[in-house]
Amino acid sequence: MLILDGLPDRPINGKTPLTVAKKPNLDKIAEISVNGIMDTIAPGIRPGSDTSHLALLGYDPYKFYTGRGPIEALGVGIELKPGDVAFRANFATVVGDGSIFDKVVVDRRAGRISETEELVKALNEISLPVEFEVAKATGHRAAVVFRGLFTDFATDTDPKVVGEKVRRCKSNRAEVAEIINEFMQKAHETLEKHWVNEQRAKNGLKKANAILLRGAGVMKEVPSFKDRFGLRLKVISATALIKGVGKLVGGEVFTPHGATGNKDTNLESKISSAVKALDSSDVVLLHLKAFDELGHDRDFNGKVRFIEKLDPHLENLLDLDLSNVCLIVTSDHSTPVKVGDHTADPVVVSITHEDVRRDEVTRFDEFSATKGGLCRIRGMDVLNIALDLLNISKKFGA
Amino acid sequence: MLILDGLPDRPINGKTPLTVAKKPNLDKIAEISVNGIMDTIAPGIRPGSDTSHLALLGYDPYKFYTGRGPIEALGVGIELKPGDVAFRANFATVVGDGSIFDKVVVDRRAGRISETEELVKALNEISLPVEFEVAKATGHRAAVVFRGLFTDFATDTDPKVVGEKVRRCKSNRAEVAEIINEFMQKAHETLEKHWVNEQRAKNGLKKANAILLRGAGVMKEVPSFKDRFGLRLKVISATALIKGVGKLVGGEVFTPHGATGNKDTNLESKISSAVKALDSSDVVLLHLKAFDELGHDRDFNGKVRFIEKLDPHLENLLDLDLSNVCLIVTSDHSTPVKVGDHTADPVVVSITHEDVRRDEVTRFDEFSATKGGLCRIRGMDVLNIALDLLNISKKFGA
């Protein structure tokens, strides 16, 4: 399953990056596929990349989505148990007197600090009434997990804008808020006097003297992919959020050499890793993030260029043995350049296998797909369709 | 959202009113839209106009439909609270001795009485153990609401055919049936001796000496449109049932000057009211009833003529600023002239906006729509699709 994150678009003067780009291999895939449009969640529902990937892996996001905190935490390598409460976090600079909650945020990225390993280590030595874990993410980012708090209502301590005070966490359970606020204060005391920050101060850099929390979510009981489908899942991505979804459903996750989650990613490395992964996995999800970034950046030509950069690498997928492999090429959502964000416009989906009912579609784009043999399906359908084509799904009834 | 009630049809010799009529503006709308077919409830499910309008406004009718009684009551202007039990009612003529339940219905419309204002006033002065309200509807019709009875099981007192006795109400709660039967008896006593009826008798007209109840439903807790979508809704219709749906979801309802709910309606007035309503509302639903009436009357040519009568007025909609407005033209259900009633045949739906993925459909009819870029959607989808096109919907996930 090749997921071209955010690739589909809305037309500008009737054209989208997919209708403009030269992409013989992508069009060849459409030609040998049954094609259609797909609502990864449901028509008109704007998907996140996390909720839509859950659906594409056969997990109803309305049932299994935990919010972003746990998925990011899983994505940076923290193991979670049901009931653990996870936050996204960032190192920040605060100034002023009194407790952490009297101080004002002056930089939400602490001067774009990125070497936070020692700070994270120190934070993990704080003493709290519950177990917890802090993990480094990219740049100034981190994830923080409090074990066994069993609530998904815990407000952000991150005020989200500079010039405001750090917020007290509130929760439907007073003891939960108390623990999180104790962490906030102790983290500040630990960071303020840490040698890394003393050195930064000497060098005229902003201190990373606070850690701000947002996006609380509680880990749910999620049946593993192996238990649900009896299949081994591998998710190949450089993006923590997508790796987190893979972990959430109990899959193996892997970031190939040179994969960056952006347009400078090593396409050769990613695609050959995916092909190779088919030897030891049953379902391989290969995630390419760059189109989404280019959509957020409103870069029409950038999308066109990246389609054309990707296309030659797709020859490896055309070489797959389609008597034995089902290839799905699709997206998790549209990220139109005119909008600069995810929209609910349906995505293009092409499913191929030796036995598929091929249609007359010969181009992989938003308009051609509407005439395909799949008509309009949902994200939750696509894995089931593939397993059925491979004759490995269970019959419902007699 | 322009709702052409009951317009789609089944072919007779391969033709439907939509394929026969000359309708350049309706076809122009299809040409600039993404088109498709739509099951307002679900494939094969025959919709009422009430259930389908609920779905078109984003309310699952299986969850929020109250039965017809409360919707009609809301439509004629009674305010309802959750737990109120509402009936549709009609003034009727009964004869015989004994209590109301010993008497026989001889005319279910009391000689098609229409000036019932004084009778309604008298009924509202009856003394009962619970609060209640009677409101006039069109002609011999009325709505009756009993406050706070909290049951949706209360049988009709209307035998539905002449020559039969008035029925006792039964309910799963004995005290509810008792109150309704007490109302039936006291209403009869009040009406029998009312001066309006004495005058009618003198003039040789049938007495409106009973009020018959049917279609009990209990008002539910329904979240308002404003609370669910953060948007102001206006429903423009001359039909009590549709106005009732608008009220049920907390919308504003409006009947423009000259709107009749039939083919003599003032189209100019209705369409210009809808365009004007866009100034003060976010979602405007404009309901045109006549096609449904013509379908019930099995009048193929009448449908053709009314399409051609409507078409010139649609120029106003083509003048809308489609960078800022999303226009949806569709129906609540089919009312084929060969059937004379609602069917589940999917309706035509055209959605247009500056950024929509236009397709190659150039005609607004049941056959062309199947080739459109929407493929096949459901009634519950259409509002979400429009809000997404306007970039005002919330993202689900990250």
What whole-number distance in Å separates Cα of residue B223 and Cα of residue B282?
17
Report the candidate in A291, A290, A299, A240 with the shortest Cα–Cα distance to residue A70: A240
Q: Is residue A375 part of a domain?
A: yes
Tell whether A296 is within 8 A of chain B (Cβ).
no
Evaluate whether residue A173 is within a structural domain. yes
Nearest CB among A41, A341, A345 relative to B357 is that of A345
Cβ-proximal residues to B132 (8 Å cutoff; 6+ apart), any chain:
B126, B144, B145, B146, B147, B183
Nearest chain B alpha carbon to A334: B388
Answer for the pair B283, B225: CB distance below 8 angstroms, yes or no: yes
Question: What's the gap between Cα B218 and its chain centre?
Answer: 17
Residue B165 DSSP label: B
For B49-109, the three-class secondary structure string (H helix, E strand, C coil) is HHHHHHHHCCCCHHHHCCCHHHHHHHHCCCCCCCCCEEEEEEEEEEECCCCHHHCEEEECC
Interface probe with B: pick from A5, A376, A378, A381, most Cβ of B within 10 Å: A376
Beta strands in A82-186 (DSSP E): 85-95, 104-107, 132-136, 141-146
Residue B326, in any domain of the structure: yes
Given A182, A198, A218, the domain boundary residue is A218
Q: Are residues B39 and B183 in the same domain?
A: no
Indicate whether B111 and B198 sit together in one domain: yes
Our measurement of the distance from residue B301's CA atom to the centroid of its chain's CA atoms, rounded to an integer in Å, reads: 24
Both B244 and B385 in a single domain? yes
Q: Nearest-CA residue of chain A relative to B385?
A: A44
pTM above 0.95, yes or no: no
B158 touches chain A (CB under 8 A): no
CB A68 within 8 A of CB A88: yes
Residue partners of B337: CB distance under 8 A and separation at least 6: B9, B12, B17, B294, B295, B298, B299, B300, B303
Report yes or no: B394 at the A interface, CB cutoff 8 Å: yes
Q: Are A47 and B395 an interchain contact pair (Cβ–Cβ within 8 Å)? A: yes
Are the beta carbons of B385 and A46 separated by less than 8 Å?
Answer: no
Query: What's the CATH number where B345 sits?
Result: 3.40.720.10
CB atoms within 10 A of CB A360: 10
A44 reaches B (C-beta below 8 A): yes
- At B377, the amino acid letter reads I
Q: Are residues B362 and B307 in the same domain?
A: yes
Interface membership of B385 toward A (CB under 8 Å): yes
Chain A contacts of B394, Cβ < 8 Å? 46
B376 and B232 fall within a common domain: yes
Closest by Cβ to B375, choosing from A50, A52, A375: A375
**Three-state secondary structure string covering A67-106:** CHHHHHHHHCCCCCCCCCEEEEEEEEEEECCCCHHHCEEE
In this structure, the answer to whether residues B318 and B343 fall within a common structural domain is yes
Closest C-alpha among A124, A287, A292, A117 to residue A208: A117
Query: Rounded to whole angstroms, how far apart are CA atoms B160 and B171?
Result: 18
Tally Cβ neighbours within 10 Å of residue A104.
14
- Together in a domain, A209 and A257: no
Buried b (16+ CB within 10 A) or exposed e, B127-158: eeebebbbbbbeebbbbbbbbebebbebebbb
**Cβ contact, residue pair A44, B397, below 8 Å:** no
Neighbour tally for B160: CB within 10 Å? 11
Does one domain contain both B142 and B41?
no
In a domain, A95, yes or no: yes
> Which of A5, A10, A60, A347 to mutate against chain B (most B CBs within 10 Å)?
A10
pLDDT of residue A301: 98
| A10, A44, A342: residue with CB nearest B385 | A44
Query: Do A173 and A274 reside in the same domain of the chain?
Result: no
Cβ contact (<8 Å) for A344 and B398? no
| Structure tokens, B215 | 């279609």
Say whether residue A10 is in contact with chain B using an 8 A CB cutoff: yes
Report the run of H or E that residue B177 belongs to, with start and end: helix B174-192
Pairing verdict, β A2-4 and A327-330: parallel
Q: Which of A218, A249, A280 is the last residue of a domain?
A: A218
Question: At residue B291, what is the residue type?
Answer: F
Tell me the shortest Cα–Cα distance from B137 to chain A, in angstroms: 38
Within a domain: A395: no
What integer pLDDT is reported at residue A248 of this predicted model?
98
> How many domains are there within chain B?
2
Is the Cβ–Cβ distance between A352 and A327 less than 8 Å? yes
Residue B396 belongs to some domain of the structure: no
In chain B, residues with a C-beta closer than 8 Å to the C-beta of A71 are 398
Residues of chain B with pLDDT under 70: none
pLDDT of B311-355, one tens digit each? 999 999 999 999 999 999 999 999 999 999 999 999 999 999 999
Q: What is the DSSP string of B354-385?
A: TTS---S--S-STTGGGGSTTEEEEHHHHHHH
**Domain end among A181, A197, A218:** A218
Calculate the dihedral angle through the C-alpha atoms of A173, A176, A181, A187, rounding to the nearest 10 degrees: -170
Question: Do both B96 and B211 map to the same domain?
Answer: yes
Answer yes or no: do A40 and A146 share one domain: no
Interface of A with B in 235-294 (CB under 8 A): 241
Give the residue carrying structure tokens 């500008």. Answer: A12
Give the model's pLDDT for residue A34. Answer: 98
Q: Which of residues 305-344 of A touch B (CB under 8 A)?
A: 336, 338-339, 341-344
Among candidate residues A110, A79, A74, the one with its CA nearest the CA of residue A94: A110
Q: Quick check: is B59 in a domain? A: yes
CA A48/CA A331 separation, integer angstroms:
12
B356 close to A (CB below 8 A)? yes
Evaluate whether residue A396 is within a structural domain: no
Give the residue numbers spanning the domain of B342.
2-66+223-389
User: How high is the ipTM of this complex?
Assistant: 0.92
Kindly state whether residues B85 and B108 are assigned to the same domain: yes
Q: Which of A61, A338, A344 sits opposite B355 (nearest CB)?
A: A338
Please give the biggest Cα pair distance in chain B. Answer: 75
The segments of chain A whose pLDDT lies below 70 read none
Angstrom distance (rounded) from CA B216 to CA B73: 11
Amino acid B152: pLDDT: 80
Contacts of B334 (CB under 8 A, 6+ apart): B6, B7, B8, B9, B10, B295, B342, B343, B344, B345, B346, B347
B207/chain A closest Cα distance in angstroms: 54
Q: Is B267 helix (H, G, I), strand (E, B) or coil?
A: helix
Residue B235 main-chain phi, psi, to 5 deg: -110, 120
> Would you say A218 and A151 are in contact if contact means Cβ atoms under 8 Å apart?
yes
Cβ distance of A68 and B398 shorter than 8 Å = yes
What dihedral do alpha carbons B60, B66, B67, B71 form, nearest 10°?
Answer: -100
Task: Tell me the C-alpha distance between B207 and A84, whole Å.
Answer: 73
Match 């102790």 to its residue by tokens.
A186
> What is the rounded (10 degree) CA torsion for A115, A118, A123, A124?
120
Q: Could you please report the per-residue DSSP string of A299-336? A: -HHHHHHHHHHHGGGGHHHHTS-TTT--EEEE-S-B--
pLDDT for the residue numbered B130: 97
* Among the partner residues A41, A43, A370, nearest to B359 by beta-carbon distance: A370
In chain A, how many H helices and how many E strands?
A: 15, 14
